[in-house]
A and B are shown apart, each in its own frame.
Chain A
Amino acid sequence: MQVTVNGQLVQATPEISLAELVKEKGWQAERIVVELNDVIISRTDWVHCIMKQGDKLEVVTFVGGG
């Protein structure tokens, strides 16, 4: 199954939850925010959120800025 993460196609296990995907990819769970198909998913809901083929994820994080 493929999902889009920040504009790039990424392979993901079918039926994987968002929480598992974050863990599998090694993203820093406590430091990122995820939008799934333009809706912010709060961290506590990641475990209930099952990914589907073609889902579009935006994963954002903090960088230096003024």
Chain B
Amino acid sequence: MAEPLKIAGYSINSRLFIGTGKFASNTIIPEVIAAASAEVVTVALRRMDINFPDENIVNFIPKGCIIMPNTSGARNAEEAIRIARLAQASGCGNWIKIEVIADNRYLLPDNQETIKATEVLANEGFVVLPYMSPDLMAARRLVDAGAAAVMPLGAPIGTNRGLKTKELIRILIEEIPLPIIVDAGIGKPSEAAEAMEMGAAAVLVNTAMATAQNPVAIAKAFALAVKAGRIAFEAGPGAIQAYANASSPLTGFLRDSL
């Protein structure tokens, strides 16, 4: 059985984190969370629509889940810090996904501003999970800044393109002493399994579920893939060889000569 994931003293059984954006209806979200067996769920913070004050995503997230607000919309560290403090004042806990983006075409994160925001918020007692471009030096600075985990992107947000940054993520997994959670880009369960087999601590999936024809069914498939990938990682896959190596004995053939 796969080991639980430890982050900031929390013990998390499900290594599949999910986002709640872009679903056709919020009413499907409880079913998606159940099918995914997700325990960590991201949300965003926005101005309340004063004409529709009853809309609130938290009403659709089962009690017992860890709610991880993101700082989407922040273009620099200062804005991310403001959003994080607002999120904390809601009383939904002290987890925060730092997301600082100033690029509108590829939505790639600004690692430098992310490091600054991480340092301030970690010092204030937040459990900080920064979304970042997979760069070893930036990841080391996030560790020094007090991050609880590091969340490199697999591909740009919402693209469903898979693990395009695989080799860079592999380096982070090897070198960074914190959980590495692949966030963004994963489009299919097989890609989630691949990340987990490599030793990713968890994956965060949103668009792949929200844009599937059947979000609940694919959430289930992702849960199975993440679990399989983790068990495979813990099992220690065999080494890759350049040449064939027979699986059957090379003696005792049913013939007389070579």
B89 in complex: contacting residue of A25, A28, A42, A64, CB < 8 Å:
A42
B43 touches A59 (CB 8 A): no
CB closest residue in chain B, given A7? B47
Determine the chain A residues whose CB is within 8 A of the CB of B157 once the complex forms.
66
Determine the chain A residues whose CB is within 8 A of the CB of B67 once the complex forms.
62
A62 touches B21 (CB 8 A): no
Name the distance in Å between A61's Cβ and chain B's nearest Cβ. Answer: 4
In the complex, A48 has a CB within 8 A of chain B: no
Determine the chain A residues whose CB is within 8 A of the CB of B54 once the complex forms.
28
Determine the chain B residues whose CB is within 8 A of the CB of A6 once the complex forms.
47-48, 50
Interface string of B18-43 (1 = CB under 8 A from A): 01111100100100000000000011
Chain A: interface size category: 20 to 34
Name the distance in Å between A24's Cβ and chain B's nearest Cβ. Answer: 12
What's the Cα separation between A5 and B50 when bound, in Å? 8
What's the Cα separation between A42 and B70 when bound, in Å? 20
Determine the chain B residues whose CB is within 8 A of the CB of A20 once the complex forms.
none
In the complex, B212 has a CB within 8 A of chain A: no
A61 touches B89 (CB 8 A): no
Residues from 39 to 98 in B contacting A, C-beta threshold 8 Å: 42-48, 50, 53-59, 67, 69-70, 72, 85-87, 89-92
Name the distance in Å between B31's Cβ and chain A's nearest Cβ. Answer: 14
What's the Cα separation between A2 and B57 when bound, in Å? 30
CB closest residue in chain A, given B70? A65
A64 touches B43 (CB 8 A): yes
Interface string of A10-38 (1 = CB under 8 A from B): 10000000000000011110111101000
What's the Cα separation between A33 and B46 when bound, in Å? 10
Q: Interface size on B (CB < 8 Å)?
A: 39
A62 in complex: contacting residue of B69, B158, B206, B207, CB < 8 Å:
B69
Name the distance in Å between B215's Cβ and chain A's nearest Cβ. Answer: 12
Determine the chain B residues whose CB is within 8 A of the CB of A32 once the complex forms.
48, 53, 90
What's the Cα separation between A61 and B51 when bound, in Å? 13
A61 touches B19 (CB 8 A): no
What's the Cα separation between A25 and B206 when bound, in Å? 33
Instruction: Decide: A63 near B86, CB < 8 A? Known: A26-B53, A31-B56.
Output: no
A59 touches B48 (CB 8 A): yes
Interface string of B183-195 (1 = CB under 8 A from A): 0100000000000
A27 touches B48 (CB 8 A): yes
| Closest A-B pairs by Cβ, 10 of them | A65-B44, A66-B19, A66-B206, A64-B20, A61-B48, A62-B43, A64-B21, A31-B56, A66-B21, A6-B47
Residues of B that sit less than 8 Å from A by CB: 19-23, 26, 29, 42-48, 50, 53-59, 67, 69-70, 72, 85-87, 89-92, 157-158, 184, 204, 206-207
Known interface pairs A65-B43, A66-B157; 14 further A-B residue pairs with C-beta atoms within 8 A, sorted by A's residue number:
A8-B50, A25-B53, A32-B53, A40-B86, A60-B46, A60-B47, A60-B48, A62-B46, A64-B19, A64-B20, A65-B44, A66-B44, A66-B184, A66-B204
